[in-house]
Amino acid sequence: MGRDKATLGDPPWAHRVARALQAGGCGSVEFQGGEAALATALWPHHPDSHPGGGPVPALLESIARHRDGAVVVAACDLPALDGGHVSALLAGTAPDGARAYSIGGRVNWSLVSIGSDLRARLAETGPESALGQALGGLLGECTEPMEPQRIEAVTDIDGISDLPGPE
């Protein structure tokens, strides 16, 4: 896309996702990796200690800072995400499991809720052991897929061809 997707748009996509997470019931929202300039008083930024190591080491770093409750992991390229989809995801997450939306029969790993017990077990895993690992490899067996109310709310934008066209 030519630059960090988190910084695209006005407001930036990362801020849209952060607002949706808060509206959906997430008590605190933090940015992990990416552009430090996106941080605000409400949303602190934490640099990745393993840049380029993939999403799993970043996830493990982030959840190690949080010792209570469930956690929601959301990619910055979900500019149409809304609080309703976040709260629905959280509401059905078992303490020892995870939930993610399924689009066309495939789990979309860009938005995942992780139950409190599973989060606690994962927090004991060091990020170095997960370099290059995909979220599906880490969470696949314990993830319950669910259908979104609006597919566009949970569809990640990976390239220009994924952007919605004019109506």
Residue 2 has what pLDDT?
Answer: 60
Tell me the pLDDT of the chain (167 aa) as tens digits: 466 778 787 888 899 999 999 999 998 898 888 878 888 888 888 888 888 777 888 888 888 887 778 899 999 999 999 999 999 999 989 999 999 999 999 999 999 999 999 998 888 877 777 777 788 888 888 899 999 999 999 988 876 666 655 44
Residue 46 has what pLDDT?
Answer: 87
CATH of domain 5-158: 3.90.550.10
For the chain, give the DSSP string. --S-GGG-TTTTHHHHHHHHHHHTT-S---EESS-GGG--SSS-EE--SSTTS-HHHHHHHHHHT--SS-EEEE-S--TT--HHHHHHHHHT--TT-EEEEEETTEEEEEEEEE-HHHHHHHHTS-GGGGTT--HHHHHGGGEEEE--SSGGGG----SGGGSPPP-
Domain ranges of the chain: 5-158
Kindly report the pTM of this predicted structure. Answer: 0.87
Report d(CA 139, CA 85) in Å as an integer.
Answer: 20
